[in-house]
Amino acid sequence: MDARDLHTPVMLERCVELLAPALQKPGAVLIDGTLGMGGHSEALLERFPDLHLIGLDRDQDALGIAGRRLERFADRTTLVHTVYDGVDAALREAGVDRVDGILYDLGVSSLQLDVAERGFAYSQDAPLDMRMDQSIGMTAADVVGAYGEGDLRRIFERYGEEKLAGRYARAIIAARAEAPIERSGQLVQILSDATPAAVQRAGHPAKRVFQALRIEVNGELAALERAIPAAMGALAVGGRIVVLSYQSLEDRLVKRAFARASASTAPAGLPVELPEHAPRFRLLVKGAELASEEERARNSRAIPVRLRAAERVREAR
């Protein structure tokens, strides 16, 4: 199946609109830090004929699909197999010092959700993998099979904001004493059996636990904490960054990073703000923007999205 049929880019026109002022100049460079299947990047390469793309992704399947999708732009693309915090290494590989635009479309991709064998979706039975890069690292089965009750509870609370974290951790420990938990269907059944009926009516009992396991397996929040400052540091003056987040933990990290960069560092009580204290960035949207009602009705993956954007206005001193 064509990548265009598998994936509808979220808030595509708004991303293009926000990045456009920085990408219209000759020789502009854009980092797509979460290339996925290349939907956003394809649109940007089409609309800005002098744009050079540096596309990052840890998922080798996604890089292969995106490479084929962007093949007609091969002379203007550099694709790099790396986690999205690998900005500095990717710039070195591309021979670039500064960039004019950066896009992050965070969370799990359509490819990872829609291919059942990857184990990301609680609605489909599959091996409990959840690795975005299947060549390295522990799987979700490793986590539920080896972590103690306290560690399971911690990640469910921290990364899933799950109120029944303790109950679910105990249920997993009890179940794995009887048999290894190796498939998503097994885990969903364990969680369902441990969930009070009243809570089940409020939403799928596995949703937050699967999110927490995915974040733990892929180290997503730690990578994001490194990625956003590194990306902002790579922007030239006038450069812009757009970030799409899909859950509150991601959005909070982005919000804090943008708030720090767009605030004055002048000490309290200083009568005049010195140039070195002026904000390095300005915010391009007020708060976090949501997808339109029309887009949310058309594309369910746009329902939880939160968009934030900023522009670099001066160099650090």
End-to-end CA distance of the chain: 50
Annotated binding site: 38-40, 57, 84, 105, 112
For residue 178, report the phi and psi dihedrals to the nearest 5 degrees: -90, -40
Cβ contact 34:56 at 8 Å: yes
Annotated binding site for S-adenosyl-L-methionine: 38-40, 57, 84, 105, 112
Beta-strand pair 235-245/306-312: antiparallel
Assign 56 to helix, strand or coil: strand
Q: How far is CA 232 from CA 102, 254, 259, 300, in A?
A: 8, 11, 12, 30
Separation between Cα atoms, residue 203 and residue 198, nearest integer Å = 10
DSSP per-residue codes, 190-202:
HHHHTS-HHHHTT
For residue 245, report the phi and psi dihedrals to the nearest 5 degrees: -115, 150
Separation between Cα atoms, residue 128 and residue 213, nearest integer Å = 10
Interaxial angle between packed helices 184-193 and 207-218, expressed in degrees from 0 to 180 and rounded to the nearest 10? 130
Q: For residue 216, give the amino acid letter.
A: E
For residue 261, report the phi and psi dihedrals to the nearest 5 degrees: -75, -25
Separation between Cα atoms, residue 263 and residue 128, nearest integer Å = 43
For residue 177, give every residue at least 6 positions away whose Cβ sits within 8 Å of its Cβ, in sequence order, or none: none
Cβ contact 24:50 at 8 Å: no
Separation between Cα atoms, residue 104 and residue 98, nearest integer Å = 17
Interaxial angle between packed helices 220-234 and 207-218, expressed in degrees from 0 to 180 and rounded to the nearest 10? 60
